[in-house]
Amino acid sequence: MVQPTQQNIEDLAGAALAELSALDSLESLEQWRIAYLGRRGSLTVVLRGLAGLDIEERRRIGALANQAKQSLESGLEARTREINEAALLRAAQEDRLDVTLPGRYPAEGRLHPTTQIVREICAAFAGMGFSVVEGPEVEWDHYNFEMLNIPKGHPARDMWNTLWVDYTNEAGEQPMLLRTHTSPMQARVMESRRPPVRVIVPGKCYRYEATDATHEWHFYQVEGLAVDEGITFANLKGTLYEFARRLFGEERRVRFRCDYFPFVEPGVDMSIDCFACQGASGQAQDGGCRICRDSGWIEIMGAGMVHPRVLSGVGYDPDKYTGFAFGLGPERIAMLKYGIDDIRHFYANDLRFLRQF
């Protein structure tokens, strides 16, 4: 062990400070600290040799050694501060901000095309006195089917490829599902209020089926319902005709044809004349019209007069009240309105597609 003396302490401190002044990085400062002030550093080794001195000499040399240690620690702190300040100054000079440059505009978000068309549909019906309500996406069989004149075992259930929820009640049944349409809100709304009723119900639906250009396993639907005394099929036709004109243009013509839905009687499908070929069956376009497939008409929704059993099921007197209901798919409306040929584009999250809207 080295016997500490005043001379070797002064020499060690001088050499360390000289070396410190030449360092220019935080990494080299850490290596210097370990070399001189670490557990096995040069100054630490000298301090350990104090134990071999007599008391008077130990006090004198110990005081000198502590002064040297404080000097080295102060020098290290000062040099660290100088290097950090130099780094900040260098960064400010090299990465200087040119305040004369124009600012960068933040990227703007956009509404999804389905959201846009749902809002357009809701706005069209809201202008005719309909209010907007929403319902649960996980629904009871009771509301999704039975309250809509589709009891267990009814063949009409095959019209919907249902996604059942793994839920079993005390009776051992599985009455819960991901709703296949927004029509359950017909029963829920009529249960909770008395006529007159005028509501539309936008929401997401789910069906267990393969996807292709015209089918998705999840999609949006907008359901409509109006119930009051004296409502007739003429009210249904007038309301939907006005909707078609508001959404697709004042010049639109409409067509109604008989169709079957368990919860309405009579039931119809509604079509509008093709806005691409102006109902001319594609004759004015080379190769025909891909929107209406040369038919001149585009089907946009199903509708009908509310079935008396649905009315009586919620406590309405079908001899006193009548009503109409309709349902349409916003994605299908958007596909027709914007010429989109594949429904899968809506949920592929491809920004090249979404930025167009």
DSSP 244: H
Name residues whose C-beta falls within 8 Å of residue 162's C-beta, 6 or more positions apart in sequence. Answer: 177, 178, 180, 207, 208
Q: Tell me if residue 196 falls in helix, strand or coil.
A: coil
Domain chopping of the chain, boundaries: 6-94, 113-354
297 is catalytic: no
DSSP 158: G
264 is catalytic: yes
**Which of 181, 188, 198, 307 does the annotation list as catalytic?**
181
325 is catalytic: yes
- Superfamily for domain range 113-354: Bira Bifunctional Protein; Domain 2 (3.30.930.10)
Length of the chain: 357
With b for 16 or more beta-carbon neighbours within 10 A and e for fewer, the 32-63 pattern comes to bbeebbeeebbbeebbebeeebeeeebeebee
**Which of 46, 221, 244, 306 does the annotation list as catalytic?**
221
CA–CA distance, 231 with 60 (Å, rounded to integer): 111
Out of 27-31, 93-97, 138-142, 206-210, least confident range: 93-97
181 is catalytic: yes
Q: What local confidence, expressed as pLDDT, does residue 282 receive? A: 44
**For residue 238, what pLDDT band results from cuts at 50, 70 and 90?**
very high
CA–CA distance, 27 with 199 (Å, rounded to integer): 71
- pLDDT tens profile 19-75: 888 888 888 888 888 888 887 878 777 777 777 777 777 788 778 888 888 888 888
Sheet holding 218-228, edge to edge: 131-132, 197-206, 218-228, 322-328, 297-306, 264-273, 254-259
Q: Is 179 exposed, middle or buried (0-12, 13-18, 19+ CB in 10 A)?
A: buried
**Which of 32, 140, 160, 297 does the annotation list as catalytic?**
160
- pLDDT tens profile 307-326: 999 999 999 999 999 999 99
Total-model pTM: 0.64
> What is the Cα gyration radius of the chain?
40
